[in-house]
Structure 1
Amino acid sequence: MTTLNDSLKQQECDISLIDVIQRILSASKDISFRLQQGALAGILGATEEENVQGETQKKLDVISNDLLKDALKASPYVYGIASEEEDFAVPGNDGGEYLVTYDPLDGSSNIDINVSVGTIFSIMKTTGNSDLAQDFLQAGTNQVAAGYVLYGPSTILVITTGKGVSMWTLDNRIGEFVLTNDKVQIPAQTKEFAINMSNQRFWAEPVQAYVADLLAGEEGPIGKRFNMRWVAAMVAEVHRILTRGGIFMYPWDGREPSKPGKLRLMYEANPMAMLVEQAGGLCRTDSERMLEVAPTEIHQRVPVFLGSKEEVERAVSYK
């Protein structure tokens, strides 16, 4: 049986990076167990608090954030941490070499209805900047590892260290992730798209025109029928695309002109972009490659178009 440690060593990952990844997974196993317990663990429902984005926090949002933060702060290799649930960057250890960003529980609005959610993470090396917040502001091309843990009927780790994408399934009998797909590839073409259609009236004209062409089916300019999917959790949407192809879109809309998108660059879009590109797909904003976006703040938002290469290229070609 191939272990994750063996796989990471074969990819010539430093022991320090392996340690950081294993600490993320240790916390993720705890999160997985609590999700399986559901109401029995007292983790359902919302708190009375809001995060820095102004979103009401679910109980397990807070629990998951604390589990990951505590696990990572205990690593001598982690210099700093940034999370969706933290207002500011959190210092780690002075001798650390890695910066970790994460969304502790993506799709947490799905918890109470027992639908898939996940943990998304990104790992970069510190630049040595004494200003921790500035240290994090690196383009996604600087990531040394990225991935997510999907909590669904089974708990699945999807990870890349820049040498392809692999999937690992948690075997609860032994408490370890077991390799189930070591060569994940996204088909270049697709007949599935995912977008929140309830926001259609707020989209920019190019997005409206593209989705209208998708809906036109065989009679439209694209010339084929598409099916629509929407789970309302980015981690589940991306997992479907990595499994069978598709395009996922969360474009800018006109409701909040000051916000260029809903999804966060540093701990949602960038790690997913690294995974998707490593699997042969594309991830872009409406105007540039996602991994080349120069971040200006930790909680920066961006529009997202990701998935099957040919379909993403078509989507962003509309002007």
Structure 2
Amino acid sequence: MNVILEAIQKSAIRIKNAIDVKDIGYSQEQNSSGETQLQLDIQSDLIIEEELSRIPSVHTIASEEKEHPMMLNENGRYFIAFDPLDGSSLVDVNLSVGSIFGIYDGVFSPEKMIASCYVVYGPRVELVFADEEKVSLYLLQAGEFEYVKEIRLNEKGKINAPGGTQQFWAPYHKAMIDSFFARGYRLRYSGGMVPDLHQILLKGGGLFSYPGASDKPEGKLRMLFEVFPFAFIFEKAGGKAVDGTKRVMENEPRHIHDTSPCFFGSKDEIDEVISVYAGQQ
């Protein structure tokens, strides 16, 4: 696992350099969701593929930018799904973006997830890595990632990061979000999943939500690349991650690009989500 973490760290340094100097214009390509890819999306995807391909223990990789998984080593053990540059459309306005990694043992299934990781490219480059033991924060300094501290969530937070387009929300979901604001929760939403969830983790708690809505009943965020990695991290940090009614890690994707509604946060907020959504069944 240390070899994989080192490869992710090397990828992060290269991606940070690409963000600083790379042409951020659109390419002529589209990703698996039909979205036109930025040059940075393609470059970041290739960087991670190149670094992981050097590790004999990595069997298969799957990227948010590729339609199908790619086998690297027939005798490998680990399956790694990644979003190479989440929120890349925010680069041109100089907001934080990130990379997300889910590490699975033998198959792409939440039951087999053994570690996850994300990187934030902002004023500072920070990396969060979670395994069965703890959630660790690292900071890039002088070309190397240095351990900073363990991350633990409080039972209750004060941040509310509501995703999706409000006009498509169910009335009960909107009422729940409004209720949090009425109790003094602060709006923190950049449109980037990585920086918004990073803020909730480092500030001690709160709620990030991306519900199923009338325009996207199954949500927008992909299970393997985005939802499961953050669910793993939040649970290991003492929080919770649900799809509205149950642990999101109990869902099983049929396709590598399947999506799910998702709610991440500290225990108080997620328990309230479950209560509200249970009343709609």
- Bin for the TM-score computed over the shorter chain: over 0.9
- What is the aligned counterpart of 2:85 among 99, 105, 108? 105
Aligned residues: 276
> Partners in 1 of 2:163 and 2:228 — Cα distance?
21
Aligned residue for 1:203? 169
Aligned residue for 1:42? 22
Preserved CA contact (<8 Å) 2:9 2:145: no
Runs of 5+ in structure 1 lacking a partner? 1-16, 127-134, 218-223
What one-letter code is carried by the residue in structure 1 that aligns with 2:6? Q
What one-letter code is carried by the residue in structure 1 that aligns with 2:234? V
> Partners in 2 of 1:148 and 1:190 — Cα distance?
21
Aligned residue for 2:15? 31
Identity %: 34
CA-based RMSD of the aligned residues comes to: 1.3
Q: Secondary structure at the match of 1:280?
A: coil
What one-letter code is carried by the residue in structure 1 that aligns with 2:73? N
> Partners in 1 of 2:231 and 2:111 — Cα distance?
10
Please give the residue correspondences for 1:175-254 in structure 2 after superposition, counting only pairs within 5 Å.
175-181=143-149, 183-196=150-163, 199-215=165-181, 217=182, 224-244=183-203, 245-254=205-214
> Partners in 2 of 1:67 and 1:18 — Cα distance?
19
Preserved CA contact (<8 Å) 2:31 2:37: yes
Q: Secondary structure at the match of 1:301?
A: coil
Runs of 5+ in structure 2 lacking a partner? none
- Off by >6 Å, runs of 4+ in structure 1: none
> Partners in 1 of 2:211 and 2:243 — Cα distance?
8
Preserved CA contact (<8 Å) 2:162 2:177: no
Aligned residue for 1:160? 130
Cα displacement string for residues 216-245 of structure 1 (whole angstroms, at most 9, x for unaligned residues): x2xxxxxx2221111111110110011112
Cα displacement string for residues 286-306 of structure 1 (whole angstroms, at most 9, x for unaligned residues): 121011211211001000100
Q: Which one has a bigger Cα radius of gyration?
A: 1
Question: What is the CA-CA distance between 1:176 and the residue it aligns to?
Answer: 1.1
Cα displacement string for residues 190-215 of structure 1 (whole angstroms, at most 9, x for unaligned residues): 22200137x11211232122113223
- What is the aligned counterpart of 1:59 among 26, 32, 39? 39
Question: What is the CA-CA distance between 1:157 and the residue it aligns to?
Answer: 0.7
Question: What is the CA-CA distance between 1:272 and the residue it aligns to?
Answer: 0.3
What one-letter code is carried by the residue in structure 1 that aligns with 2:210? Y
Aligned residue for 1:14? none
1:296 aligns with 2:280: no
What one-letter code is carried by the residue in structure 1 that aligns with 2:152? Q
Cα displacement string for residues 119-173 of structure 1 (whole angstroms, at most 9, x for unaligned residues): 10011111xxxxxxxx42x1x23211101011111110100111111100011x2
1:90 aligns with 2:66: no
TM-score when normalising by structure 2: 0.95
Cα displacement string for residues 88-124 of structure 1 (whole angstroms, at most 9, x for unaligned residues): 0011111111000000001111011111001100111
> Partners in 1 of 2:102 and 2:174 — Cα distance?
32
What one-letter code is carried by the residue in structure 2 that aligns with 1:200? Q
> Partners in 2 of 1:75 and 1:18 — Cα distance?
11
Aligned residue for 1:306? 264
Q: Secondary structure at the match of 2:139?
A: strand
Question: What is the CA-CA distance between 1:56 and the residue it aligns to?
Answer: 1.6
> Partners in 1 of 2:172 and 2:160 — Cα distance?
16
